[in-house]
Amino acid sequence: MRRPSFDPELFEPLADVEERSFWFRARNRLIVSTFRRHFADARSFLEIGCGSGVVLGALRESLPSLRLVGGELYPEALEIARRRLPDTELVELDARRLPYNGEFDVVGAFDVLEHIDEDEAVLAQMVAAARPRGGMLVLVPQHPWLWSKHDEIVEHRRRYTRKELLAKAERAGIEVVEVTSFVSSLLPAMAVSRAVDRVRKRTDPIANLEPGPLNVLFERMLDGERKLIEHGVSLPFGGSLMLVGRRP
């Protein structure tokens, strides 16, 4: 069984970027919004691969009564998360072998599955960790044709098609409630950026996330996508793919 891969030295610079980057900020608002729409009565949430705690921080701010648990394989990330969230339960664990059974109202994994060979096993573990009729919330990178040097540098195993994610979720026992793309309006810019990666062979994994002169504009564009999703629109394409489901 190959260890899920991510360079632990990236957690510290990534934590700085997370607070400022349009992508992380807009993604957090999408996660919180989706949580409110689908799991308004939830009292507990487990995040698999919580990293430095940026999503948990957003949920803590928006839903202060929610019991939050963050699970992470890398102690370097947990050290940063503990500085961010000193009162939150943070656990070192392997997503392929979760120590929980029917404990959480909602279980989530945000840009985590693509780093793990056994992604279906992780989905099945998420189902087992949720209570009956408990929720699942998953975000992954979409479109294999966007694959570039950037994916290799951040040690992705794959980018997903919608069909692939749906099939894997259903085989893991997830009852799918909603699926939509995200980062749709920026897909042309992403395609250009990935093409440049292939030609110039960029080696900085953080460069694509660093806030630039269009940071505010891009954030507003993604907020517009979120509002469409809130009104029931399933965006057909985009750099990311979000799936909402439940344990039967």
Give residue 127's pLDDT.
98
Assign residue 44 the CATH number of its domain.
3.40.50.150
Domain-located, residue 2 = no
Domain-located, residue 214 = yes
Report how many domains make up the chain. Answer: 1
With bands split at pLDDT 50, 70 and 90, how would you rate the model's confidence at 216? very high
Domain-located, residue 26 = yes
Q: Is the Cα dihedral 40, 172, 93, 161 positive or negative?
A: negative
With bands split at pLDDT 50, 70 and 90, how would you rate the model's confidence at 141? very high
Quick one: average pLDDT of 119-125? 98
Give residue 128's pLDDT.
98
Domain-located, residue 104 = yes
Higher pLDDT: 136 or 203? It is: 136
Domain-located, residue 1 = no
Buried b / exposed e along 142-167 (16+ C-beta atoms within 10 A): bbeebbbbbbebbebebbbebebbbe
Whether the pLDDT of residue 207 is over 80: the answer is no
- Residue 42 belongs to domain spanning: 8-246
Domain-located, residue 149 = yes
Quick one: average pLDDT of 58-82? 96
With bands split at pLDDT 50, 70 and 90, how would you rate the model's confidence at 11? confident
Whether the pLDDT of residue 160 is over 90: the answer is yes
Question: 77-91, 92-106, 198-212, 219-233: which range is least confident on average?
Answer: 198-212
Domain-located, residue 137 = yes
